């Protein structure tokens, strides 16, 4: 049995102690889970183990030998491989090329393609993966790509395999196939560290679970005997969640209604009402269908059934263009690739959704564009020296404000917020919450999805529970504790 030990690890960032004297031993022959809510220090510890961050204090030992990394390459050399949730495969290349990239078998100065296909085929066969190494990655499904990512990592015969949210993009059936592969890897002398936000998976695939909270190790659970409440207590302790301002009352007027919305494979028979000025949260674990529902509500993807009503009028056309005209806006989960045009200026990114309001024939009224952009810079307190600068010059929090400001320029009546605080600091989060509350005061209704369920209790009037693509319940933030909300989202009562 092999083991990896992190001993008395601390990590200090300017103004923040991300990890505080953390000690954990991970062993082969089992799946070692590492969990904690956002901000717990989990990601920082993983980055220290794989060389992406340098520890401030402490030591890392692999089989009793102390390791010191200055880069991810150092960690790879020492036998530590990481599979990230964002795929790193090249779609236009074959499976074999992706697995062996940088390590091709050569015949003189030329690549020995026959030998490379044989080598990749053997790696896949030994892992029980039935994929042709000659196929291009572009032909594969998402779960097959995840399998190839793991095969790529295992091809270097690592001693430690870090799996970072490996099921975040997979359907339930695909997740089961991936679990089958992980169970096979357990039989090898590889130390598997499994990071996930899908807490229900811990009982399905993991043997031991170590928990971090506020940068400190709070305990270890044997998943064969662990109760859900034990896990939640370790994750949250006596966390006190803030509540929304008392002046945020909403109208009883229904402005938006979904009836029996269905999208095969993502959600089924979803019905709810949204009132003018209301902030409605949708809580659920990763894979529950939350993001898929929001994208369908904005017409990004097609519904297979159901009806949508805006101010008692049935929506006949489901497309972003048509729904934007109806007064709906969407801030997407991935602001970098879906919410912003990276090569464009701050000014243009603030006006992309409202170009028809700025156009004179085929030309954009530059004076009006300047006014629209400056209005949001001032109103949202976007920290910028010039709106002509590229949007990439802004911090994550200010970029998120640009995404929101872009839609506010369309004068929406309903806003859909998907992970509005992802990747931004505490101060910027609070500013985003204030924006949502100010919209509520002005009569704009909002639907908010967030992985951090605590946020939903802080900013929403009401929260819907979503499990497996279905709405299973409804709670009021003032009447529920955070650990109870997590229990509901996991489909358990404690």
Distance CA 289, CA 455 (A): 18
Residues 210 and 259 in one domain: no
- Beta strands 57-62 and 65-67, pairing class: antiparallel
Can you give the CATH number for the domain in which 100 is found? Answer: 3.40.50.300
Residues 261 and 410 in one domain: yes
Phi, psi of 268 (to 5 degrees): -140, 130
Residue environment code for 361-386, b if the CB has 16+ CB neighbours within 10 A, otherwise e: eeeeeeeebeebbeebbeebebebee
Q: 85: domain range?
A: 3-236
Cα radius of gyration (the chain):
24
Residues 72 and 19 in one domain: yes
Residue 336: C-alpha distances to residues 339, 342, 346, 350, 489 (Å): 6, 7, 13, 14, 28
Please count the structural domains in the chain. 2
246 assigned to some structural domain: no
Residues 225 and 301 in one domain: no
243 assigned to some structural domain: no
Residues 202 and 311 in one domain: no
Distance CA 287, CA 190 (A): 28
**Residue 240's pLDDT is what?**
58
Contact 412, 255 (CB under 8 A): no
Q: Is the pLDDT of residue 238 over 70?
A: no
- 74-90 residue pLDDT tens: 998 999 998 887 678 89
Residues 117 and 204 in one domain: yes
241 assigned to some structural domain: no
Residues 229 and 377 in one domain: no
Residues 225 and 355 in one domain: no
Residue 134: C-alpha distances to residues 44, 93, 119, 130, 227 (Å): 37, 9, 12, 12, 46
Distance, first Cα to last Cα, the chain = 34
pTM: 0.69
157 assigned to some structural domain: yes
248 assigned to some structural domain: no
- 5-30 residue pLDDT tens: 999 999 998 878 999 999 999 999 99
Residue 478: which residues within 8 A CB-CB, separation 6 or more? 243
- 140-193 residue pLDDT tens: 887 788 889 888 888 888 999 999 888 766 666 677 878 888 898 899 889 999
**Residue 371's pLDDT is what?**
93
The full DSSP string for 167-222 is: TTT--HHHHHHHHHHHHHHHTSS-EEEEE-S-GGGHHHH-SEEEEEETTEEEEEEE
**Residue 171's pLDDT is what?**
64
pLDDT-derived band of residue 494, with 50, 70 and 90 as boundaries?
very low
Residue 304: which residues within 8 A CB-CB, separation 6 or more? 262, 263, 264
Work out the average pLDDT over 447-466.
92
Beta strands in 332-407 (DSSP E): 359-360, 363-364
The full DSSP string for 112-141 is: -HHHHHHHHHHHHHHTT----TTSBGGGS-
Task: Specify the long-range contacts of residues 374-379, CB closer than 8 Å, at least 24 apart.
Answer: 375/409, 376/350, 376/401, 376/402, 376/405, 376/406, 376/408, 376/409, 377/346, 377/350, 377/405, 379/405, 379/408
**Residue 87's pLDDT is what?**
72
Among 143, 19, 138, which residue's Cα sits nearest to residue 90?
138
Residue 462: which residues within 8 A CB-CB, separation 6 or more? 278, 280, 281, 474, 475, 476, 477
The SS3 of residue 365 is coil
Taken in order 416, 422, 426, 428, is the CA torsion positive or negative?
negative
Contact 161, 153 (CB under 8 A): yes
Q: Taking the CA of residue 240 as centre, how many other CA atoms within 13 Å lie in the half-sphere pointing to its CB? A: 1
Residues 434 and 406 in one domain: yes
Residues 318 and 261 in one domain: yes
Among 237, 214, 287, 250, which residue's Cα sits nearest to residue 459?
250
Work out the average pLDDT over 225-233.
89
Residues 300 and 229 in one domain: no
Residues 392 and 453 in one domain: yes
Listed ranges 64-73, 114-123, 225-234, 254-263; the one with the highest mean pLDDT: 254-263
Among 16, 18, 66, which residue's Cα sits nearest to residue 46?
18
**Residue 242's pLDDT is what?**
61
Residue 246: which residues within 8 A CB-CB, separation 6 or more? none
354 assigned to some structural domain: yes
């Amino acid at each position: 049995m092999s083991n990896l030990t992190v001993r008395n690890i601390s990590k200090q960032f300017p103004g923040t102690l991300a990890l505080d004297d953390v000690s954990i031993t991970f062993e082969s022959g089992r799946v070692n889970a590492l969990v904690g809510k956002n901000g717990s220090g989990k990601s920082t510890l993983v980055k220290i183990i794989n060389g992406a961050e340098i520890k401030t204090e402490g030591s890392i030992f692999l089989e009793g030998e102390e390791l010191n990394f200055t880069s991810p390459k150092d960690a790879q050399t020492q036998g530590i491989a990481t599979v990230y949730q964002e795929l790193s495969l090249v779609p236009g290349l074959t499976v074999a090329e992706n697995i062996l990239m940088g390590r091709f078998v050569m015949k003189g100065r030329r690549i020995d393609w026959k030998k490379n296909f044989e080598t990749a085929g053997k790696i896949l066969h030994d892992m029980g993966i039935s994929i042709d190494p000659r196929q291009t990655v572009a032909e594969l499904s998402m779960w097959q790509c995840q399998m190839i990512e793991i095969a790529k990592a295992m091809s270097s015969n690592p001693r430690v395999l870090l799996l970072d949210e490996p099921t975040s993009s997979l359907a339930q059936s695909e997740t089961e196939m991936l679990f089958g592969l992980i169970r096979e890897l357990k039989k090898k002398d590889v130390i598997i560290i499994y990071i996930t936000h899908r807490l229900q998976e811990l009982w399905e695939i993991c043997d031991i679970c170590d928990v971090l909270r506020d940068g400190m190790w709070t305990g270890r659970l044997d998943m064969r005997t662990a109760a859900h409440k034990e896990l939640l207590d370790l994750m949250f302790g006596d966390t006190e969640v803030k509540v929304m301002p008392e002046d945020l009352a909403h109208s009883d007027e229904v402005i938006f209604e979904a009836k029996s919305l269905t999208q095969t494979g993502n959600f089924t028979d979803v019905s709810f009402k949204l009132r003018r000025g209301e902030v409605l949260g949708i809580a659920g674990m990763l894979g529950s269908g939350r993001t898929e529902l929001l994208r369908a509500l904005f017409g990004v993807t097609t519904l297979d059934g159901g009806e949508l009503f805006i101010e008692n009028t049935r929506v006949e056309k489901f497309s972003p263009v048509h729904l934007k005209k109806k007064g709906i806006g969407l801030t997407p989960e991935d602001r970098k690739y879906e919410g912003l045009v990276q090569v464009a200026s701050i000014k243009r990114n603030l006006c992309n959704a409202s170009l028809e309001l700025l156009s004179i024939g085929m030309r954009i009224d530059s004076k009006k564009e300047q006014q629209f952009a400056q209005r949001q810079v001032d109103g949202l307190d976007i920290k910028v020296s010039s709106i002509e600068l590229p949007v990439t010059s802004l911090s994550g929090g200010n970029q998120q404000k640009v995404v929101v400001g872009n839609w506010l320029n369309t004068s929406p009546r309903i806003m859909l917020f998907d992970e509005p605080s992802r990747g931004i600091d505490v101060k910027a989060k609070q500013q985003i919450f204030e924006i949502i509350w100010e919209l509520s005061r002005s009569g704009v209704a909002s639907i908010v999805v967030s992985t951090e369920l605590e946020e939903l209790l802080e900013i929403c009037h009401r929260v819907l529970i979503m499990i497996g693509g279905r709405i299973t319940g409804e709670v009021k933030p003032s009447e529920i504790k955070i650990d109870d909300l997590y229990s509901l989202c996991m489909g358990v009562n404690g």
